[in-house]
Amino acid sequence: MTDEHYPDAPPPEMFRAEYWDERFSAPERIWSGNPNLVLVAEVRGLAPGRALEVGSGEGDDARWLAEQGWEVTATDISAVALEKAAARVAEQAPGAAARITWRRADSDGWTPPEGAYDLVTSHYLPLRPERRTAVFSGLAAAVAPGGTLLLVSHALRDLEDGLPRPPWPELFPTLEEMADLVPGRDWETAVLEERPRPAVYDGTEYTIHDVVLRARRRD
């Protein structure tokens, strides 16, 4: 996949509900059906409580969290995604479904309540570059004292390594941006790194790098 397939900048419709409704309306799944690897690795040892997942998509992370005992609020910009996720989880894991509240919310315009969650997490959330810091800061503020913030994004080096991604560097937050979300006086940063993992696109193997931030809000 080459750059000629893309406009020079992220198109405005990419950040609108209609775009994601259309994408999620396809009969086939977009992703694997498994929870994100970073979520499992970083959350497995935490005591369950109230969790907020932003950008819940097909619901696999929300389901996994609920299966671990978390009471989950799962939000997404797409009503289609939420409807399909809720139906799938209710059919396949009714016990987990009872612990999930599905909420339609545009992360670019909705601010979660401050200090309301023991875990706030988001993976690969597509955001307008000029709004990313404000949105991520709002997610950090939603973490209760003693709670955990887990944010995961694609690393800019994926473009440099030739992965088939849209060539828009402004969509890829840096480690420095992530670090600024959790000032040392209020947070204990447990993980701040670019983490490699294998992936296959169109039969070709790649090493992907995720930007991972896990931090605990001080009591």
User: What CATH class has 12-21+35-217?
Assistant: alpha beta
Token pair, residue 139, equals 């997610």
31-40, 81-90, 169-178, 197-206 — which is least confidently predicted?
197-206
CA distances from 146 to 112, 119, 186 (A): 17, 9, 10
The model carries a pTM of: 0.94
Burial of 40 (0-12, 13-18, 19+ CB in 10 A): middle
> For residue range 118-149, what is the model confidence (pLDDT) as tens digits?
999 999 999 988 999 999 999 999 999 999 99
pLDDT at 1: 38
pLDDT at 167: 87
In which band, very low, low, confident or very high, does the pLDDT at 7 lie, cut at 50, 70 and 90? confident
pLDDT at 109: 86
Q: Are 101 and 72 in contact (CB under 8 A)?
A: yes
Cα 55 to Cα 192: distance, rounded to the nearest angstrom: 21
Residue 3 has pLDDT above 60, yes or no: no
Strands 100-104 and 117-123 come out as: unpaired
> For residue range 144-163, what is the model confidence (pLDDT) as tens digits?
999 999 999 999 999 888 88
Token pair, residue 68, equals 């671990």
Q: Which of residues 205 and 191 earns the better pLDDT score?
A: 191
Helix (H) or strand (E) holding 50: strand 50-54
Cα 31 to Cα 95: distance, rounded to the nearest angstrom: 23
Residue 5 has pLDDT above 80, yes or no: no
Could you state, in order of their start, the residue ranges of all structural domains in the chain? Answer: 12-21+35-217
pLDDT at 2: 41
